[in-house]
């Protein structure tokens, strides 16, 4: 077949290749510790599952409104109003088949070919892929190691704004670094957004995956609601990654376009799953809290072991289920000078499967340190202990 030229510009999630390699290694009879997965090995809460079955039995199996069912839009608007401390109405909500489709629809609605879009790198690889696919210019900004966590490289963002910059992708509580903006950084960013007349995709996939304190949304800053589209997902909070349900939340005119894109694309999100999502939002909060408690325990075990390894340093982010340790010295100790050698040596000698910085974008000019990304959402505490114990033994043997 003669494939359309535009496909040349379509990227992918190269982390899936890591999964394939880990599976092949396991198939040869080796023990694998899956830290590469962004998926969860925790079950969806039973009350949510039951609500889905009930909805099927009740015949919620036909098409439903393109915007999503009104009861869910209302429940989500109420949830967002409370958690974000902002006024969110059901008119601001378009239910989507996952959080990911919001990235696509945000760009289709707001980006013209040639527009520059600032996006995080290292970051979720879909931003760069789709910006370039639709003919935009993907302009990366990075992160710096701050006091206790990674921080947005605000100076780089400011430097890279030109008169063609139109959009900013902000993934606060970030995959893969766990970076989180402080209030002063939000304020500075809001100043830039207003000054340069930018619109923002607030990817809040991890807003509710938080262990201490409360998450804050950039969209809740003064005058920012009218410039922000939020990506919401049911995937993480309710361990529903495979159910595929999320939402775009933003100004009504953009939400109407996003719903129109849905008419042209998937017609509507899965009907009966939306009833399960209502149960998640309004039913017993216990199961979601239990998911968080499990993740927090895993985080602490993983961070403690990682920091005990000679040549490795790791922050303890308050949110997300990812760790992004700096392994520069450990690489030197072992004589590894590229990411793939390090990753494969680690896999083949210890069974520990990780992603590296390069699965989250091309390295930026001047970047000299080495990082790997570990997800602890898909691996139990005992396996974390065992796997990272092996990693420690391997990296300290030089």
Q: Which residues bind to ligand PMP, rule: CB under 6 A?
A: 38, 98-100, 124, 171, 175, 203, 205, 231, 233, 235, 241, 246
Crossing angle of helices 381-395 and 339-350, in 10° steps, is 120
Sequence-separated contacts (24+) of 4-8 with Cβ below 8 Å: 6/133
Tell the smallest beta-carbon distance from residue 318 to ligand PMP (Å).
16
Name which of 243 and 394 has its Cβ closer to ligand PMP.
243
Residues 6+ apart with CB under 8 A from 180: 149, 172, 173, 174, 317, 318, 319
CB of residue 8 to ligand PMP, shortest distance in Å: 24
Smallest distance from ligand PMP to CB 266, Å: 13
In three-state secondary structure terms, 141 is strand
* 306 contacts 376 by C-beta, under 8 angstroms: no
Rounded to a whole number of angstroms, the minimum distance from the CB of residue 378 to ligand PMP is: 11
Round the CA-based radius of gyration of the chain to a whole number and report it. 21
Cβ 93 to ligand PMP shortest distance, Å: 15
**Do the Cβ atoms of 192 and 164 come closer than 8 Å?**
no
d(CA 18, CA 250): 35
Measured from the CB atom, the residue of 40 and 86 that comes closer to ligand PMP is: 40
What tokens appear for 28 in the block?
Answer: 């040869």
Residue 76 or 391 having the CB closest to ligand PMP: 76
Q: Which is nearer to ligand PMP, 129 or 171 (CB)?
A: 171
Q: Which is nearer to ligand PMP, 132 or 396 (CB)?
A: 132
Q: How far is CA 249 from CA 99, 225, 256, 257, in A?
A: 11, 10, 11, 12
Taken in order 6, 269, 173, 106, the sign of the CA dihedral is positive
**Shortest Cβ 126–ligand PMP spacing (Å):** 7
Instruction: Quote the strand ranges of the chain, DSSP E.
Output: 33-34, 93-96, 116-120, 137-141, 143-145, 150-152, 165-170, 199-203, 228-233, 246-249, 322-323, 352-353, 355-356, 372-375
Between 233 and 274, CB nearer to ligand PMP: 233
Closest approach, Cβ 97 to ligand PMP, in A, equals 8
Least distance CB 205 / ligand PMP (angstroms): 4
- Nearest residue relative to ligand PMP (C-beta): 99
Query: How far is the C-alpha of 315 from the C-alpha of 149, rounded, in Å?
Result: 6
- Closest CB to ligand PMP among 130 and 189? 130
Q: Which is nearer to ligand PMP, 201 or 331 (CB)?
A: 201
Q: Tell me how far, at minimum, the Cβ of 245 lies from ligand PMP, in Å.
A: 8
Nearer Cβ to ligand PMP (98/387): 98
Q: How far apart are CA 193 and CA 3, in angstroms?
A: 38
Give me the half-sphere count of Cα atoms (radius 13 Å) on the Cβ side of residue 251: 14
């Amino acid at each position: 077949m003669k494939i359309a030229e535009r496909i040349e510009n379509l990227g992918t999630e190269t982390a899936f290749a890591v999964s394939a390699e880990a599976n092949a290694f396991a198939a040869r009879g080796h023990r694998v510790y899956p830290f590469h997965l962004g998926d969860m090995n925790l079950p969806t809460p039973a009350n949510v599952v039951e609500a889905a079955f009930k909805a099927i039995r009740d015949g919620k199996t036909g098409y439903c409104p393109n915007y999503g069912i009104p009861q869910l839009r209302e429940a989500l608007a109420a949830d967002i109003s409370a958690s974000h401390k902002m006024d969110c109405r059901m008119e601001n909500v378009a239910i989507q088949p996952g959080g990911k489709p919001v990235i696509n629809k945000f760009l289709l609605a707001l980006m013209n070919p040639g527009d520059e879009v600032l996006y995080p790198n290292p970051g979720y690889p879909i931003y760069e892929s789709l910006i370039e696919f639709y003919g935009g210019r993907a302009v990366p900004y990075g992160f710096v190691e701050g006091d206790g966590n990674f921080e947005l490289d605000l100076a780089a963002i400011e430097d890279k704004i030109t008169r063609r910059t139109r959009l900013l992708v902000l993934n606060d509580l970030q995959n893969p670094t766990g970076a989180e903006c402080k209030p002063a950084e939000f304020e500075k960013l809001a100043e830039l957004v207003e000054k340069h007349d930018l619109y923002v995709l607030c990817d809040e996939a991890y807003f509710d995956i938080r262990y201490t304190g409360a998450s804050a949304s950039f969209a809740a800053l003064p005058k920012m609601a009218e410039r922000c589209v939020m990506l919401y997902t049911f995937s993480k909070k309710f361990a529903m990654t495979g159910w595929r349900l999320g939402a775009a939340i933003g100004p009504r005119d953009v939400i109407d376009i996003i719903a129109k894109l849905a008419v042209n694309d998937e017609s509507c999100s899965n009907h009966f799953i939306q009833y399960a999502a209502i149960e998640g939002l309004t039913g017993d909060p216990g199961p979601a809290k239990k998911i968080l408690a499990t993740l927090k325990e895993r985080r602490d075990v993983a961070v403690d072991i990682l920091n005990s390894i000679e040549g490795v340093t790791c922050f303890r982010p308050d949110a997300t289920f990812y760790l992004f340790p700096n392994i520069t010295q450990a690489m030197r100790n072992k004589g590894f000078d590229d990411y793939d050698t390090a990753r494969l040596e680690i896999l083949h000698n210890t069974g520990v499967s990780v992603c590296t910085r390069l699965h989250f974008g091309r390295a930026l000019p001047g970047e000299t340190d080495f990082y790997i990304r570990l997800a602890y959402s898909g691996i139990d505490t005992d396996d974390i202990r065992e796997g990272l114990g092996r990693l420690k033994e391997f990296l300290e043997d030089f």
